[in-house]
Chain A
Amino acid sequence: ILNVEQSPQSLHVQEGDSTNFTCSFPSSNFYALHWYRWETAKSPEALFVMTLNGDEKKKGRISATLNTKEGYSYLYIKGSQPEDSATYLCAFRYTGGFKTIFGAGTRLFVKA
């Protein structure tokens, strides 16, 4: 059974704090790792698609790293702002079927 774990489940930070969360996935049959940002009452929006071991992606204050050999990815937010409050989902796509398995998400609350 393929499992995608995200930690922590939720995180409360102050405006200006930097934060990071983890996505763990199977290290075999790797095809791609996606990060999505999901605001309440909206739809998930893609942040990054990562395919190569050692990949680093950056979009504004948000960045992500990927380690396919050990099966983890980190998402970093520098200088959190209240508008960063959302659920951050990672999704693992594996070879052989191209099915995508989502983690349960990390719920981030940024207090002004």
Chain B
Amino acid sequence: DAGVIQSPRHEVTEMGQEVTLRCKPISGHNSLFWYRQTMMRGLELLIYFNNNVPIDDSGMPEDRFSAKMPNASFSTLKIQPSEPRDSAVYFCASSPDWGEQFFGPGTRLTVL
């Protein structure tokens, strides 16, 4: 089992550019979570899906952020336009039903 796969692992972009982060959950897991880790705020839940349906996106900071899960094996988190304050590590996690979550390796985003 490859675990949760995230890509890219590192992303450096310029302010104003569109950024797309990708996640492949563990096969068979029906819940998927996107988190952001910053020094100031720790680990924040941005959005989560259950059976590909967004359940709660109240953690999404602004309209510049959007997430999709077109099928059970793929999700994207998009930031458009990106800003320097979006720089953080973004984690994707999946879980079977509502059990323990398995985290991906994270994407380190730097917006210059």
Report A-chain residues with C-beta under 8 Å of the C-beta of B98.
Answer: 31-32, 93, 98
Instruction: Give every chain B residue within 8 A of A26 (Cβ-Cβ).
Output: none
| A98 to B55 Cα, complex, angstroms | 9
Query: Binding site of B, secondary structure by majority: helix, strand, loop or mixed?
Result: strand
Q: How many residues of A contact B (CB 8 A)?
A: 20
Contact B103 A104 (CB under 8 A): no
Chain A at the B interface: mostly helix, strand, loop or mixed?
strand
Q: Which of B21-29, B41-49, B66-74, B77-85 contacts A (4 or more CB under 8 A)?
A: B41-49
CA distance A45 to B102 in the complex (A): 7
CA distance A97 to B100 in the complex (A): 16
- The smallest beta-carbon distance between B41 and chain A, in angstroms, is 9
Residues of B within 8 A of A93 (CB): 98
Contact between A46 and B100 (Cβ–Cβ < 8 Å)? yes
Is residue A71 contacting chain B, with contact meaning CB distance below 8 A? no
Inter-chain contacts of A105 with B (CB < 8 A)? 42-43
Selected contact of B45 from candidates A32, A34, A89, A102, CB within 8 Å? A102
Provide the residues of chain B in CB contact with A45, threshold 8 Å: 103
Docked-complex contact B48 and A99, CB < 8 angstroms: yes
B99–A44 CB distance below 8 A: no
Number of A-B residue pairs having CB atoms within 8 Å of each other in the complex: 42
Nearest chain A CB to B100 CB, angstrom units: 4
Residues 81 to 99 of chain B near chain A (Cβ within 8 Å): 91, 93, 98-99
Interface residue B34 (Cβ < 8 Å from any Cβ of A)? no
CB within 8 Å for A99 and B45 given contacts A34-B100, A49-B100, A93-B98? yes
Name the one of A42, A97, A101 contacting B55, with C-beta atoms under 8 angstroms.
A97
Q: A44-B101, A49-B100 are in contact. List 18 more A-B contacts (CB 8 A).
A: A31-B98, A32-B98, A43-B91, A43-B104, A44-B43, A44-B91, A44-B103, A91-B101, A97-B55, A97-B56, A98-B98, A99-B48, A99-B56, A100-B33, A100-B45, A101-B45, A105-B42, A105-B43
Measuring CB to CB, which residues of chain A are less than 8 angstroms from any residue of chain B? 31-32, 34, 42-46, 49, 89, 91, 93, 97-102, 104-105
